Amino acid sequence: MSPFLRNFFSKKLGPLLTAPSWAMLTAISIYPLLYCVYLSFNDWNLLKAYIPPTFIGIKNYVDLLFDPLFQNTVQVSLTFSILAVSIELGLGIAVGMLFSSEHVKFGKVLRTVLLLPMVVTPVLIGLTWKTMLNQKWGVVNYFLAQLGVTGIEWYTSPAQALPTMVLIDIWQWTPFVALVVFATLLSLPREPFEAAAIDGASRLHIFRHITLPMLRGSISLAVLIRLIDTLREFDKVYVLTRGGPGRATDLMSIFAYRTAFYHGYVSYAAATSIVLFIVVIGLCTILLGRLTPKK
């Protein structure tokens, strides 16, 4: 190999190593994205496949802006995200601190169990909760009835459906925040805590003024990640209510999916997907900005 080439390779080895992945991701992610953008500027219906796509400019996006159903979708998605993430934050910190207590026995087993909700297939989680929340033979209502609480309709009532989804999401992802907190606590230095204990500070004081600030970095990371993921939520909500009852749980991805595959308006759904994509990428940029190690 000529010295020029050898030099070239050694200089460019870094970027070259990234080339195969880059190529693959371009093919499997960027190309579909571009196709999606192309679709969103056209008008094409899957059910009337004999009519080829016709160019209509930004009409899809304009329609989207004024579509009350889409506005409902945005509202539902935001409510879901904010509720779920805020509750997961609070509960996660509590559970994380609980599990890092020195009194806990069988910590390893318990932490394994804690990991389970996050690694079970989301579709199956949705369906399992469907059986548990069934009004007639579901086990949750049975327990509640023993405690004297009746009449909760869970996902079958428009008012209660979204809170139910939030509940299931909390069940699934609180362990994530909790374990992030747990792992961070493990790595914290002991001196500040010992010093505060010697100084006679109360536990609450220690928590507020030492623990929380030290957790702030990893917690804000976890919150951002959860925010992004709740916006992309699809599997478990779709399989439970398909966006119903009415449109009470009509998340953005469910709206796009139904518009494309049931009603056939693929181009309208493509526009919705692009909007969702832009929002997610926007949040992602913020996230990545925080993740960059400050030199």
By the rule CB under 8 A, 79 interacts with another protein: no
Dihedral in degrees, nearest 10, Cα atoms 186, 223, 232, 135: 80
Among residues 7, 24, 86, 194, which is the contact residue for another protein, using CB under 8 A?
Answer: 24
Tell me which residues in 130-169 interact with another protein (CB under 8 A). 131-132, 134-139, 142, 153, 155-158
By the rule CB under 8 A, 86 interacts with another protein: no
CA distance 133 to 135: 6
Please identify which residue in the block is written with the tokens 């371009």. 26
Site string for another protein, 4-23 (x = CB under 8 A): ------x--xxxxxx-xxxx
CA distance 142 to 150: 9
Tell me which residues in 227-286 interact with another protein (CB under 8 A). 228-229, 232, 234-235, 239, 241-242, 244-247, 253, 256-257, 260-264, 266, 269-270, 273-274, 276-277, 280-281, 284-285
Q: Is the omega angle on the peptide bond into residue 245 within 30 degrees of 0, that is, cis?
A: yes
Whole-angstrom CA distances from 129 to 92, 122, 141 are: 21, 11, 12
Among residues 65, 82, 183, 212, which is the contact residue for another protein, using CB under 8 A?
Answer: 183
By the rule CB under 8 A, 56 interacts with another protein: no
CA distance 272 to 277: 9
Please state the closest distance from residue 225 (CB atom) to another protein, in A. Answer: 6
Please state the closest distance from residue 101 (CB atom) to another protein, in A. Answer: 5
By the rule CB under 8 A, 70 interacts with another protein: no
Please state the closest distance from residue 286 (CB atom) to another protein, in A. Answer: 11
Tell me which residues in 25-54 interact with another protein (CB under 8 A). 25-36, 45-50
